[in-house]
Structure 1
Protein backbone atom coordinates (compact mmCIF):
# COMPACT_ATOMS: atom_id res chain seq x y z
CA UNK A 1 0.00 0.00 0.00
CA UNK A 2 2.89 2.40 0.57
CA UNK A 3 2.99 3.24 -3.12
CA UNK A 4 -0.23 5.19 -2.65
CA UNK A 5 1.13 7.55 0.00
CA UNK A 6 3.25 10.70 -0.33
CA UNK A 7 6.02 11.30 2.22
CA UNK A 8 4.69 13.46 5.06
CA UNK A 9 6.78 16.51 4.13
CA UNK A 10 5.75 16.36 0.47
CA UNK A 11 2.08 15.88 1.38
CA UNK A 12 2.17 18.82 3.80
CA UNK A 13 3.84 21.04 1.18
CA UNK A 14 1.26 20.03 -1.43
CA UNK A 15 -1.67 20.75 0.91
CA UNK A 16 -0.24 24.09 2.04
CA UNK A 17 0.29 25.10 -1.58
CA UNK A 18 -3.33 24.35 -2.49
CA UNK A 19 -4.63 26.13 0.62
CA UNK A 20 -2.55 29.23 -0.13
CA UNK A 21 -3.80 29.32 -3.72
CA UNK A 22 -7.46 28.99 -2.70
CA UNK A 23 -7.15 31.85 -0.19
CA UNK A 24 -5.09 34.11 -2.46
CA UNK A 25 -5.73 37.82 -2.85
CA UNK A 26 -3.79 40.40 -4.84
CA UNK A 27 -3.76 44.00 -3.57
CA UNK A 28 -3.38 47.02 -5.83
CA UNK A 29 -2.42 50.35 -4.25
CA UNK A 30 -2.49 52.80 -7.14
CA UNK A 31 -2.53 56.25 -5.61
CA UNK A 32 -6.00 57.03 -4.30
CA UNK A 33 -7.28 53.81 -5.80
CA UNK A 34 -7.11 50.68 -3.69
CA UNK A 35 -8.44 47.34 -4.87
CA UNK A 36 -8.21 43.67 -3.95
CA UNK A 37 -8.60 40.87 -6.47
CA UNK A 38 -9.23 37.24 -5.58
CA UNK A 39 -7.93 34.35 -7.67
CA UNK A 40 -11.45 33.62 -8.91
CA UNK A 41 -12.06 37.24 -9.93
CA UNK A 42 -8.80 37.41 -11.89
CA UNK A 43 -9.48 34.12 -13.66
CA UNK A 44 -12.94 35.42 -14.63
CA UNK A 45 -11.62 38.55 -16.36
CA UNK A 46 -12.42 38.51 -20.10
CA UNK A 47 -8.78 39.40 -20.91
CA UNK A 48 -7.42 36.28 -19.15
CA UNK A 49 -5.67 33.96 -21.60
CA UNK A 50 -3.72 30.72 -21.81
CA UNK A 51 -0.12 31.73 -22.48
CA UNK A 52 3.17 29.92 -23.00
CA UNK A 53 6.44 31.25 -21.60
CA UNK A 54 9.21 29.68 -23.65
CA UNK A 55 12.00 30.07 -21.08
CA UNK A 56 10.64 30.71 -17.60
CA UNK A 57 13.18 32.39 -15.30
CA UNK A 58 12.02 30.64 -12.12
CA UNK A 59 11.24 27.16 -13.47
CA UNK A 60 14.08 27.11 -16.01
CA UNK A 61 11.87 25.56 -18.70
CA UNK A 62 8.81 26.13 -20.86
CA UNK A 63 5.71 26.85 -18.78
CA UNK A 64 2.00 27.30 -19.50
CA UNK A 65 -0.16 29.68 -17.47
CA UNK A 66 -3.57 31.25 -17.14
CA UNK A 67 -2.67 34.94 -17.15
CA UNK A 68 -4.03 38.45 -17.54
CA UNK A 69 -2.05 41.30 -19.17
CA UNK A 70 -0.67 43.38 -16.32
CA UNK A 71 -1.67 46.52 -18.22
CA UNK A 72 -5.32 45.58 -17.61
CA UNK A 73 -4.80 45.79 -13.84
CA UNK A 74 -2.67 48.94 -14.09
CA UNK A 75 -4.92 50.83 -16.51
CA UNK A 76 -4.85 54.00 -14.36
CA UNK A 77 -1.02 54.07 -14.34
CA UNK A 78 0.96 56.27 -16.75
CA UNK A 79 4.11 55.06 -18.60
CA UNK A 80 6.38 57.55 -16.80
CA UNK A 81 5.35 56.36 -13.35
CA UNK A 82 6.88 53.75 -11.07
CA UNK A 83 5.53 50.45 -9.71
CA UNK A 84 6.76 48.28 -6.86
CA UNK A 85 5.86 44.58 -6.74
CA UNK A 86 5.99 43.09 -3.24
CA UNK A 87 6.25 39.35 -2.70
CA UNK A 88 5.16 37.34 0.31
CA UNK A 89 8.78 36.85 1.47
CA UNK A 90 9.70 40.57 1.43
CA UNK A 91 11.18 40.64 -2.08
CA UNK A 92 10.37 44.12 -3.44
CA UNK A 93 10.94 44.60 -7.19
CA UNK A 94 11.24 48.21 -8.39
CA UNK A 95 9.73 48.43 -11.87
CA UNK A 96 9.37 51.35 -14.28
CA UNK A 97 5.76 51.37 -15.43
CA UNK A 98 6.41 51.75 -19.17
CA UNK A 99 7.48 48.12 -19.86
CA UNK A 100 4.62 46.81 -17.70
CA UNK A 101 2.08 48.71 -19.82
CA UNK A 102 3.63 48.04 -23.23
CA UNK A 103 1.90 45.89 -25.84
CA UNK A 104 4.97 45.91 -28.12
CA UNK A 105 8.24 44.02 -27.60
CA UNK A 106 8.35 42.47 -24.14
CA UNK A 107 4.89 42.01 -22.64
CA UNK A 108 4.13 41.64 -18.92
CA UNK A 109 1.51 39.15 -17.71
CA UNK A 110 0.23 38.28 -14.27
CA UNK A 111 0.16 34.48 -14.15
CA UNK A 112 -2.59 33.13 -11.89
CA UNK A 113 -2.28 29.77 -10.15
CA UNK A 114 -5.53 27.84 -10.41
CA UNK A 115 -6.53 26.04 -7.17
CA UNK A 116 -7.42 22.91 -9.13
CA UNK A 117 -4.12 22.92 -11.02
CA UNK A 118 -1.31 23.95 -8.66
CA UNK A 119 2.03 24.77 -10.22
CA UNK A 120 5.17 22.69 -9.58
CA UNK A 121 7.26 23.28 -6.49
CA UNK A 122 10.26 25.58 -7.07
CA UNK A 123 13.36 23.41 -6.63
CA UNK A 124 13.79 22.55 -2.96
CA UNK A 125 11.85 25.59 -1.70
CA UNK A 126 8.72 23.69 -0.72
CA UNK A 127 6.36 26.08 -2.52
CA UNK A 128 5.41 27.15 -6.03
CA UNK A 129 5.75 30.52 -7.77
CA UNK A 130 2.07 31.18 -7.09
CA UNK A 131 -0.46 32.30 -6.37
CA UNK A 132 0.54 35.27 -8.56
CA UNK A 133 3.68 35.56 -10.68
CA UNK A 134 4.86 38.35 -13.01
CA UNK A 135 6.05 36.71 -16.23
CA UNK A 136 7.20 38.15 -19.56
CA UNK A 137 6.74 37.25 -23.20
CA UNK A 138 9.77 38.22 -25.33
CA UNK A 139 11.74 39.63 -22.36
CA UNK A 140 14.88 40.06 -24.44
CA UNK A 141 13.10 42.72 -26.54
CA UNK A 142 13.19 45.15 -23.61
CA UNK A 143 16.23 43.84 -21.73
CA UNK A 144 14.09 42.48 -18.90
CA UNK A 145 16.28 41.04 -16.11
CA UNK A 146 15.66 38.04 -13.86
CA UNK A 147 14.81 40.25 -10.88
CA UNK A 148 11.89 41.66 -12.85
CA UNK A 149 10.08 38.29 -12.62
CA UNK A 150 8.83 38.43 -9.00
CA UNK A 151 6.85 35.39 -7.87
CA UNK A 152 4.46 34.92 -4.96
CA UNK A 153 3.40 38.52 -5.58
CA UNK A 154 1.04 39.90 -2.95
CA UNK A 155 0.83 43.58 -3.87
CA UNK A 156 1.51 46.17 -6.58
CA UNK A 157 2.05 49.76 -5.41
CA UNK A 158 2.29 53.04 -7.32
CA UNK A 159 5.19 54.98 -5.78
CA UNK A 160 7.51 57.90 -6.53
CA UNK A 161 10.76 56.99 -8.25
CA UNK A 162 13.59 55.32 -6.35
CA UNK A 163 15.67 58.53 -6.51
CA UNK A 164 12.84 60.52 -4.92
CA UNK A 165 12.17 58.01 -2.16
CA UNK A 166 15.75 57.11 -1.30
CA UNK A 167 18.27 59.97 -1.65
CA UNK A 168 20.80 57.90 0.33
CA UNK A 169 21.25 55.83 -2.84
CA UNK A 170 22.35 58.75 -4.99
CA UNK A 171 26.00 59.10 -6.00
CA UNK A 172 27.94 62.35 -5.62
CA UNK A 173 27.17 65.12 -8.08
CA UNK A 174 30.58 64.71 -9.73
CA UNK A 175 30.31 60.91 -10.06
CA UNK A 176 31.37 59.35 -13.35
CA UNK A 177 28.92 58.20 -16.00
CA UNK A 178 29.70 54.55 -15.15
CA UNK A 179 28.74 55.18 -11.52
CA UNK A 180 25.46 56.81 -12.55
CA UNK A 181 24.65 53.96 -14.89
CA UNK A 182 25.61 51.57 -12.10
CA UNK A 183 22.83 52.99 -9.93
CA UNK A 184 20.34 51.90 -12.60
CA UNK A 185 21.87 48.41 -12.56
CA UNK A 186 21.66 48.32 -8.76
CA UNK A 187 17.97 49.29 -8.91
CA UNK A 188 17.24 46.67 -11.56
CA UNK A 189 19.26 43.73 -10.23
CA UNK A 190 19.95 44.22 -6.52
CA UNK A 191 17.32 46.38 -4.90
CA UNK A 192 14.60 43.74 -4.89
CA UNK A 193 16.53 41.89 -2.17
CA UNK A 194 18.96 44.40 -0.64
CA UNK A 195 19.12 47.79 0.99
CA UNK A 196 22.04 50.18 0.72
CA UNK A 197 22.68 52.92 3.29
CA UNK A 198 19.47 51.66 4.95
CA UNK A 199 17.58 52.77 1.84
CA UNK A 200 15.03 50.43 0.28
CA UNK A 201 11.85 48.54 1.06
CA UNK A 202 13.11 44.98 0.74
CA UNK A 203 13.18 42.78 3.83
CA UNK A 204 15.04 39.96 2.10
CA UNK A 205 18.82 40.44 2.04
CA UNK A 206 21.52 42.37 3.94
CA UNK A 207 22.49 46.01 3.47
CA UNK A 208 25.21 46.39 0.82
CA UNK A 209 26.98 49.37 2.40
CA UNK A 210 26.51 49.02 6.15
CA UNK A 211 28.50 48.11 8.05
CA UNK A 212 30.75 47.21 5.09
CA UNK A 213 30.48 47.42 1.33
CA UNK A 214 31.31 44.15 -0.54
CA UNK A 215 33.98 46.00 -2.55
CA UNK A 216 35.81 46.46 0.78
CA UNK A 217 36.13 42.78 1.66
CA UNK A 218 36.21 40.99 -1.70
CA UNK A 219 39.56 40.87 -3.48
CA UNK A 220 39.53 42.46 -6.97
CA UNK A 221 37.85 40.14 -9.44
CA UNK A 222 36.21 37.95 -6.82
CA UNK A 223 33.11 40.08 -6.35
CA UNK A 224 32.21 39.85 -10.04
CA UNK A 225 32.71 36.07 -9.90
CA UNK A 226 30.51 35.91 -6.82
CA UNK A 227 27.71 37.86 -8.56
CA UNK A 228 27.93 35.57 -11.58
CA UNK A 229 27.76 32.35 -9.51
CA UNK A 230 27.50 32.77 -5.71
CA UNK A 231 27.58 29.05 -4.92
CA UNK A 232 30.86 28.57 -6.80
CA UNK A 233 32.56 31.05 -4.47
CA UNK A 234 30.90 30.27 -1.16
CA UNK A 235 28.86 27.08 -1.15
CA UNK A 236 25.95 27.25 1.24
CA UNK A 237 22.92 24.98 0.77
CA UNK A 238 20.61 27.61 2.28
CA UNK A 239 22.00 30.41 0.11
CA UNK A 240 19.23 32.32 -1.66
CA UNK A 241 21.18 34.67 -3.90
CA UNK A 242 20.77 33.73 -7.58
CA UNK A 243 23.57 33.90 -10.11
CA UNK A 244 23.48 36.68 -12.69
CA UNK A 245 24.67 35.38 -16.04
CA UNK A 246 25.43 37.57 -19.05
CA UNK A 247 21.83 37.22 -20.23
CA UNK A 248 20.77 39.07 -17.06
CA UNK A 249 23.61 41.58 -16.80
CA UNK A 250 26.31 42.05 -19.43
CA UNK A 251 29.99 42.48 -18.57
CA UNK A 252 29.66 46.22 -19.26
CA UNK A 253 26.64 46.50 -16.99
CA UNK A 254 28.36 44.44 -14.29
CA UNK A 255 31.34 46.79 -14.37
CA UNK A 256 28.94 49.74 -14.01
CA UNK A 257 27.35 48.08 -10.97
CA UNK A 258 30.77 47.47 -9.39
CA UNK A 259 31.73 51.10 -10.06
CA UNK A 260 28.59 52.24 -8.25
CA UNK A 261 29.16 49.95 -5.26
CA UNK A 262 32.79 51.06 -4.97
CA UNK A 263 31.74 54.70 -5.15
CA UNK A 264 29.10 54.25 -2.43
CA UNK A 265 31.65 52.70 -0.05
CA UNK A 266 32.88 56.26 0.55
CA UNK A 267 29.33 57.58 1.04
CA UNK A 268 28.19 55.63 4.08
CA UNK A 269 25.53 57.34 6.16
CA UNK A 270 26.20 57.94 9.84
Structure 2
Protein backbone atom coordinates (compact mmCIF):
# COMPACT_ATOMS: atom_id res chain seq x y z
CA UNK A 1 0.00 0.00 0.00
CA UNK A 2 2.80 2.39 0.95
CA UNK A 3 4.67 1.50 -2.23
CA UNK A 4 1.56 2.19 -4.33
CA UNK A 5 1.04 5.57 -2.64
CA UNK A 6 4.66 6.46 -3.25
CA UNK A 7 4.27 5.65 -6.94
CA UNK A 8 1.16 7.83 -7.13
CA UNK A 9 3.01 10.70 -5.46
CA UNK A 10 5.93 10.38 -7.89
CA UNK A 11 3.52 10.30 -10.83
CA UNK A 12 1.74 13.43 -9.58
CA UNK A 13 5.08 15.17 -9.13
CA UNK A 14 6.19 14.18 -12.64
CA UNK A 15 2.94 15.44 -14.14
CA UNK A 16 3.36 18.74 -12.30
CA UNK A 17 6.81 19.39 -13.76
CA UNK A 18 7.03 21.99 -16.54
CA UNK A 19 6.86 20.32 -19.93
CA UNK A 20 9.47 22.58 -21.51
CA UNK A 21 12.15 22.38 -18.80
CA UNK A 22 15.27 20.77 -20.18
CA UNK A 23 19.03 20.44 -19.98
CA UNK A 24 21.74 21.99 -22.13
CA UNK A 25 24.99 20.04 -22.44
CA UNK A 26 28.23 21.96 -23.08
CA UNK A 27 31.48 20.10 -23.75
CA UNK A 28 34.56 22.16 -24.58
CA UNK A 29 37.00 19.30 -24.17
CA UNK A 30 37.76 19.67 -20.47
CA UNK A 31 34.71 18.13 -18.86
CA UNK A 32 31.03 18.16 -19.68
CA UNK A 33 28.78 20.71 -18.02
CA UNK A 34 25.01 20.40 -17.88
CA UNK A 35 22.78 23.40 -17.28
CA UNK A 36 19.10 23.08 -16.42
CA UNK A 37 16.44 25.55 -17.43
CA UNK A 38 15.99 26.57 -13.78
CA UNK A 39 19.73 27.14 -13.29
CA UNK A 40 20.01 29.33 -16.36
CA UNK A 41 16.95 31.42 -15.54
CA UNK A 42 18.27 31.99 -12.01
CA UNK A 43 21.73 33.21 -13.09
CA UNK A 44 22.74 36.68 -11.98
CA UNK A 45 23.79 37.57 -15.54
CA UNK A 46 20.41 36.66 -17.05
CA UNK A 47 18.81 39.65 -18.79
CA UNK A 48 15.70 40.59 -20.71
CA UNK A 49 16.88 40.92 -24.31
CA UNK A 50 14.87 42.40 -27.17
CA UNK A 51 15.53 41.14 -30.70
CA UNK A 52 13.93 43.57 -33.21
CA UNK A 53 14.03 41.19 -36.20
CA UNK A 54 14.10 37.64 -34.87
CA UNK A 55 15.21 35.09 -37.47
CA UNK A 56 12.95 32.24 -36.35
CA UNK A 57 9.80 34.18 -35.49
CA UNK A 58 10.14 36.82 -38.24
CA UNK A 59 9.17 39.62 -35.84
CA UNK A 60 10.34 41.40 -32.71
CA UNK A 61 10.78 39.09 -29.73
CA UNK A 62 11.75 39.51 -26.09
CA UNK A 63 13.64 36.79 -24.23
CA UNK A 64 15.16 36.01 -20.87
CA UNK A 65 18.71 35.26 -21.92
CA UNK A 66 22.25 34.65 -20.68
CA UNK A 67 25.37 35.98 -22.47
CA UNK A 68 26.56 32.93 -24.39
CA UNK A 69 30.19 33.86 -23.84
CA UNK A 70 29.70 33.39 -20.09
CA UNK A 71 28.83 29.72 -20.65
CA UNK A 72 31.86 29.02 -22.84
CA UNK A 73 34.66 29.43 -20.32
CA UNK A 74 37.78 27.87 -21.82
CA UNK A 75 36.80 28.34 -25.47
CA UNK A 76 39.46 30.00 -27.59
CA UNK A 77 38.85 32.11 -30.72
CA UNK A 78 40.31 29.39 -32.95
CA UNK A 79 37.82 26.74 -31.80
CA UNK A 80 35.00 25.39 -33.92
CA UNK A 81 31.82 24.99 -31.90
CA UNK A 82 29.07 22.62 -32.94
CA UNK A 83 25.53 23.58 -31.95
CA UNK A 84 23.24 20.56 -32.18
CA UNK A 85 19.45 20.89 -32.06
CA UNK A 86 16.98 18.19 -31.10
CA UNK A 87 15.60 18.10 -34.67
CA UNK A 88 18.97 17.19 -36.26
CA UNK A 89 20.15 20.68 -37.15
CA UNK A 90 23.93 20.94 -36.57
CA UNK A 91 25.55 24.34 -37.01
CA UNK A 92 29.31 24.88 -36.98
CA UNK A 93 30.08 28.34 -35.55
CA UNK A 94 33.51 29.84 -35.00
CA UNK A 95 34.09 30.57 -31.33
CA UNK A 96 35.71 33.84 -32.37
CA UNK A 97 32.27 35.25 -33.25
CA UNK A 98 31.23 34.74 -29.64
CA UNK A 99 34.33 35.26 -27.52
CA UNK A 100 35.74 38.12 -29.61
CA UNK A 101 32.48 39.84 -30.40
CA UNK A 102 32.87 43.14 -32.21
CA UNK A 103 29.43 44.67 -32.43
CA UNK A 104 27.22 41.59 -32.41
CA UNK A 105 26.60 39.65 -29.20
CA UNK A 106 25.36 36.08 -28.86
CA UNK A 107 22.79 35.27 -26.19
CA UNK A 108 21.33 31.98 -25.04
CA UNK A 109 17.58 32.58 -24.85
CA UNK A 110 16.00 30.30 -22.25
CA UNK A 111 12.33 29.37 -22.48
CA UNK A 112 10.52 29.84 -19.18
CA UNK A 113 8.19 26.83 -18.77
CA UNK A 114 5.61 29.09 -17.11
CA UNK A 115 5.66 31.48 -20.07
CA UNK A 116 6.34 29.36 -23.17
CA UNK A 117 7.26 30.96 -26.47
CA UNK A 118 4.78 31.01 -29.37
CA UNK A 119 4.65 28.11 -31.79
CA UNK A 120 6.88 28.46 -34.83
CA UNK A 121 4.69 28.46 -37.93
CA UNK A 122 7.36 27.02 -40.23
CA UNK A 123 7.84 23.85 -38.15
CA UNK A 124 4.47 23.79 -36.37
CA UNK A 125 6.41 23.37 -33.14
CA UNK A 126 8.38 24.97 -30.37
CA UNK A 127 11.70 26.84 -30.72
CA UNK A 128 12.64 26.02 -27.13
CA UNK A 129 13.98 25.11 -24.75
CA UNK A 130 17.13 27.02 -25.80
CA UNK A 131 17.77 29.34 -28.73
CA UNK A 132 20.89 31.28 -29.76
CA UNK A 133 19.92 34.85 -30.62
CA UNK A 134 22.06 37.84 -31.57
CA UNK A 135 21.85 41.54 -30.84
CA UNK A 136 23.02 43.75 -33.71
CA UNK A 137 23.71 40.75 -36.01
CA UNK A 138 24.43 42.99 -39.01
CA UNK A 139 27.61 44.29 -37.35
CA UNK A 140 29.34 40.92 -37.85
CA UNK A 141 27.25 39.60 -40.76
CA UNK A 142 25.64 36.88 -38.64
CA UNK A 143 23.64 34.64 -40.97
CA UNK A 144 20.31 32.87 -40.31
CA UNK A 145 22.03 29.48 -39.87
CA UNK A 146 23.86 30.92 -36.85
CA UNK A 147 20.61 31.21 -34.87
CA UNK A 148 20.08 27.55 -33.82
CA UNK A 149 16.88 26.87 -31.89
CA UNK A 150 15.69 23.72 -30.10
CA UNK A 151 19.29 23.64 -28.92
CA UNK A 152 20.41 20.52 -27.04
CA UNK A 153 24.21 20.70 -26.91
CA UNK A 154 27.29 22.79 -27.66
CA UNK A 155 30.55 20.95 -28.27
CA UNK A 156 34.05 21.91 -29.34
CA UNK A 157 35.04 20.02 -32.48
CA UNK A 158 38.06 19.80 -34.77
CA UNK A 159 37.81 22.01 -37.84
CA UNK A 160 35.38 21.07 -40.59
CA UNK A 161 38.34 20.36 -42.91
CA UNK A 162 39.75 17.82 -40.44
CA UNK A 163 36.48 16.06 -39.77
CA UNK A 164 35.02 16.04 -43.28
CA UNK A 165 37.77 15.96 -45.94
CA UNK A 166 35.34 14.80 -48.66
CA UNK A 167 33.64 18.21 -48.73
CA UNK A 168 36.89 20.06 -49.48
CA UNK A 169 37.41 21.57 -52.94
CA UNK A 170 40.58 20.96 -54.95
CA UNK A 171 43.46 22.12 -52.69
CA UNK A 172 45.28 23.49 -55.73
CA UNK A 173 42.72 26.30 -55.98
CA UNK A 174 43.71 29.69 -54.62
CA UNK A 175 42.16 30.74 -51.32
CA UNK A 176 40.35 33.67 -52.94
CA UNK A 177 38.96 31.67 -55.88
CA UNK A 178 35.16 31.61 -56.38
CA UNK A 179 35.12 27.90 -55.47
CA UNK A 180 36.91 28.46 -52.17
CA UNK A 181 34.67 31.44 -51.38
CA UNK A 182 31.67 29.28 -52.21
CA UNK A 183 32.95 26.60 -49.83
CA UNK A 184 32.86 29.17 -47.02
CA UNK A 185 29.29 30.15 -47.99
CA UNK A 186 28.30 26.46 -48.07
CA UNK A 187 29.53 25.97 -44.52
CA UNK A 188 27.59 29.01 -43.28
CA UNK A 189 24.31 28.44 -45.12
CA UNK A 190 23.95 24.78 -46.11
CA UNK A 191 26.05 22.51 -43.91
CA UNK A 192 23.85 22.93 -40.84
CA UNK A 193 21.04 21.01 -42.58
CA UNK A 194 22.73 19.03 -45.40
CA UNK A 195 25.58 16.59 -45.88
CA UNK A 196 27.85 16.51 -48.93
CA UNK A 197 29.52 13.37 -50.26
CA UNK A 198 27.94 11.64 -47.27
CA UNK A 199 29.88 13.71 -44.76
CA UNK A 200 28.49 16.02 -42.09
CA UNK A 201 26.48 15.85 -38.87
CA UNK A 202 23.18 17.32 -40.07
CA UNK A 203 20.07 15.16 -40.25
CA UNK A 204 17.50 17.51 -41.79
CA UNK A 205 18.09 17.76 -45.53
CA UNK A 206 19.34 15.47 -48.32
CA UNK A 207 22.93 15.13 -49.43
CA UNK A 208 23.92 17.86 -51.90
CA UNK A 209 26.22 15.75 -54.07
CA UNK A 210 25.25 12.06 -53.76
CA UNK A 211 23.80 10.65 -55.90
CA UNK A 212 23.45 13.97 -57.75
CA UNK A 213 24.22 17.60 -57.11
CA UNK A 214 21.21 19.89 -57.53
CA UNK A 215 23.31 21.72 -60.13
CA UNK A 216 23.00 18.56 -62.25
CA UNK A 217 19.23 18.30 -62.28
CA UNK A 218 17.95 21.87 -61.80
CA UNK A 219 18.28 24.70 -64.29
CA UNK A 220 20.38 27.45 -62.80
CA UNK A 221 17.54 29.99 -62.78
CA UNK A 222 15.26 27.53 -60.97
CA UNK A 223 17.97 26.63 -58.48
CA UNK A 224 18.56 30.30 -57.72
CA UNK A 225 14.82 30.84 -57.27
CA UNK A 226 14.65 27.81 -54.98
CA UNK A 227 17.40 29.12 -52.69
CA UNK A 228 15.76 32.55 -52.51
CA UNK A 229 12.28 31.14 -51.82
CA UNK A 230 11.79 27.33 -51.76
CA UNK A 231 8.00 27.68 -51.68
CA UNK A 232 8.05 29.66 -54.93
CA UNK A 233 9.39 26.63 -56.80
CA UNK A 234 7.51 23.85 -55.07
CA UNK A 235 4.82 24.67 -52.52
CA UNK A 236 4.92 22.26 -49.62
CA UNK A 237 3.44 23.34 -46.26
CA UNK A 238 5.68 20.92 -44.33
CA UNK A 239 8.90 22.15 -45.96
CA UNK A 240 11.60 23.15 -43.47
CA UNK A 241 14.10 24.90 -45.74
CA UNK A 242 14.10 28.68 -45.24
CA UNK A 243 14.56 31.16 -48.05
CA UNK A 244 17.73 33.23 -48.20
CA UNK A 245 17.04 36.80 -49.25
CA UNK A 246 19.80 39.16 -50.37
CA UNK A 247 20.31 40.38 -46.85
CA UNK A 248 21.12 36.84 -45.70
CA UNK A 249 22.88 35.75 -48.92
CA UNK A 250 24.18 38.33 -51.38
CA UNK A 251 24.11 37.75 -55.13
CA UNK A 252 27.90 37.34 -55.05
CA UNK A 253 27.67 34.74 -52.28
CA UNK A 254 25.02 32.87 -54.25
CA UNK A 255 27.21 32.93 -57.36
CA UNK A 256 30.12 31.53 -55.35
CA UNK A 257 27.95 28.86 -53.72
CA UNK A 258 26.76 27.59 -57.10
CA UNK A 259 30.36 27.58 -58.35
CA UNK A 260 31.39 25.43 -55.37
CA UNK A 261 28.50 22.97 -55.88
CA UNK A 262 29.26 22.64 -59.60
CA UNK A 263 32.92 22.04 -58.73
CA UNK A 264 32.03 19.36 -56.18
CA UNK A 265 29.78 17.61 -58.70
CA UNK A 266 33.05 16.58 -60.34
CA UNK A 267 34.51 15.42 -57.02
CA UNK A 268 31.96 12.84 -55.90
CA UNK A 269 32.98 10.48 -53.12
CA UNK A 270 30.64 7.60 -52.41
CA UNK A 271 29.93 7.19 -48.69
Contact 2:91 2:148 (8 Å CA) reproduced: yes
CA deviation after TM superposition for structure 1 residue 175, in Å: 3.2
Q: Distance in 2 between matches of 1:41 and 1:107?
A: 21
Residue 241 (structure 1) aligns with = 241
Contact 1:85 1:156 (8 Å CA) reproduced: yes
Q: Distance in 2 between matches of 1:65 and 1:173?
A: 44
Residue 267 (structure 1) aligns with = 267
Instruction: Determine whether 1:211 maps to 2:211.
Output: yes
Q: Which aligned runs of 4 or more in structure 1 are off by greater than 3 angstroms?
A: none
* Distance change >3 Å, CA 20–CA 195, structure 1 → 2: farther
Which secondary structure does the structure 1 equivalent of 2:179 belong to? Answer: helix
Residue 21 (structure 1) aligns with = 20
In structure 1, runs of 5+ residues without a counterpart are 1-15
Instruction: Determine whether 1:59 maps to 2:57.
Output: yes
Residue 155 (structure 1) aligns with = 153
Q: Distance in 2 between matches of 1:216 and 1:139?
A: 34
Which secondary structure does the structure 2 equivalent of 1:64 belong to? Answer: strand
Which secondary structure does the structure 1 equivalent of 2:91 belong to? Answer: strand
* Distance change >3 Å, CA 172–CA 104, structure 1 → 2: closer
Which secondary structure does the structure 2 equivalent of 1:108 belong to? Answer: strand
Residue 42 (structure 2) aligns with = 44
Contact 2:88 2:202 (8 Å CA) reproduced: yes
Residue 187 (structure 2) aligns with = 187
Q: Distance in 2 between matches of 1:124 and 1:239?
A: 8
* Distance change >3 Å, CA 124–CA 77, structure 1 → 2: closer
* Distance change >3 Å, CA 124–CA 223, structure 1 → 2: closer
Structure 1 segment 166-185 matched on structure 2, within 5 A: 166-175=164-173, 177-185=177-185
Q: Distance in 2 between matches of 1:25 and 1:71?
A: 18
Query: Which protein has the larger Cα radius of gyration, Structure 1 or Structure 2?
Result: 2
Q: Distance in 2 between matches of 1:44 and 1:241?
A: 35
Contact 1:71 1:102 (8 Å CA) reproduced: no
Residue 95 (structure 1) aligns with = 93
Residue 4 (structure 1) aligns with = none
Q: Distance in 1 between matches of 2:129 and 2:161?
A: 31
Structure 1 segment 114-133 matched on structure 2, within 5 A: 114-123=112-121, 125-133=123-131
CA displacement 1:62-82 (0-9 Å, x = unmatched): 100000010000021001111
Number of positions where the alignment pairs a residue of Structure 1 with one of Structure 2: 253
Contact 2:107 2:133 (8 Å CA) reproduced: yes
Residue 230 (structure 1) aligns with = 230
In structure 2, runs of 5+ residues without a counterpart are 1-14
| Greater Cα offset, 247-256 or 172-181 | 172-181
CA deviation after TM superposition for structure 1 residue 19, in Å: 4.4
Q: Distance in 2 between matches of 1:29 and 1:183?
A: 27
CA deviation after TM superposition for structure 1 residue 103, in Å: 4.1
Q: Distance in 1 between matches of 2:122 and 2:239?
A: 12
Q: Distance in 2 between matches of 1:196 and 1:51?
A: 36
Cα root mean square deviation, aligned: 1.4
